Structure 1
Amino acid sequence: MKGGLGAQPQPLHCRANLRRDVPRGQGDPTKQRYLVRLNEYIAQISRVGNNYNQVVKAINTYLSRNMLPRQIDTLVACTRELKSLSEQVSELTRQLREEWLITVINNKN
């Protein structure tokens, strides 16, 4: 039963997809640099997602008034780190797009 009451929460990330490397590009050094950096970011996101899931599990399993604020602070820190990594991936993609556009324009001339 998906999405109904009593359904198990899904993990923050799908380990099978995040741990599998993005295919390596052949020939284009810009694309290869992008894919190497992208794989590094994916590995970091996977580690942070794992930490995030552990904190959520601890909150759900060992809910204590004394521990809750600390666990919430940890979740906030993980969320900030995930946001930062997401922004870095977006910036990396923007840079690749600019480099690619410059390459395409230079090749047409």
Structure 2
Amino acid sequence: MQTINKNKGGRKIKSDPKKYRHVFRLTESENQRLLALFASSGITNKASFLVSMLLDRQVKTVKVDVAALQYHATLTKLFNQFRAVGVNYNQIVKLCNQYFSEDKAKRSISILEEYTKDLSKLCYYIIKLSKEFEDKYLNTNS
């Protein structure tokens, strides 16, 4: 005779179920402090966070500096724009040399050089502002 193993469904039985419960009360200020620690820990489950804190497990906290993220994103966009300007610059110089007479190409390239000088000044100003920002906000040595 063949035995049929029927699955009744439901939740799988855990090998080490959590069956002990502890309750404690906090004041308003203690609760705010606990919630701030919980938020900075990055753990999504409050019970796991409390167990970690009580049993001396290490809890890693991550602080995200929104200003630094915005700074990095803006600098990345700016870098991409500079790269695009460089590509366009090369294409224009090639086209000037290819399709214009020598005098007209020289005039066009000299105008382009003036714009490049302005762009260079702007680049210098951006670098100066970036260094000031890094010194003021991103250096953790101070």
Q: CA deviation at 1:104?
A: 5.1
CA contact (8 A) 1:59 1:68 kept: yes
Partner of 2:88: 51
CA contact (8 A) 2:68 2:138 kept: no
Partner of 1:83: 120
Percent identity over the alignment is: 30
Written as runs of structure 1 = structure 2, the 5 A alignment for 1:15-34 is 27-34=64-71
User: Which protein shows a greater Rg?
Assistant: 2
1:38 aligns with 2:70: no
Partner of 2:133: 96
Higher normalized contact order (CA 8 Å, seq sep 6+, divided by chain length): 1
Q: Secondary structure at the match of 1:67?
A: helix
RMSD (CA atoms): 2.7
Partner of 1:4: none
Compare the two structures and name the one with the higher helix fraction.
Answer: 1
Q: 1:40 to 1:88 in 2, by over 3 A?
A: farther
1:67 aligns with 2:104: yes
**CA distance in structure 2 between the aligned counterparts of 1:104 and 1:80, rounded to whole angstroms:** 36
**CA distance in structure 2 between the aligned counterparts of 1:103 and 1:96, rounded to whole angstroms:** 13
1:28-50: CA deviation from partner (whole Å, max 9, x where unpaired): 22321221220231132123212
CA contact (8 A) 1:48 1:78 kept: no
User: So what's the TM-score if we normalise by structure 1?
Assistant: 0.54
> Number of aligned pairs?
80
Q: Secondary structure at the match of 1:27?
A: coil
User: So what's the TM-score if we normalise by structure 2?
Assistant: 0.44
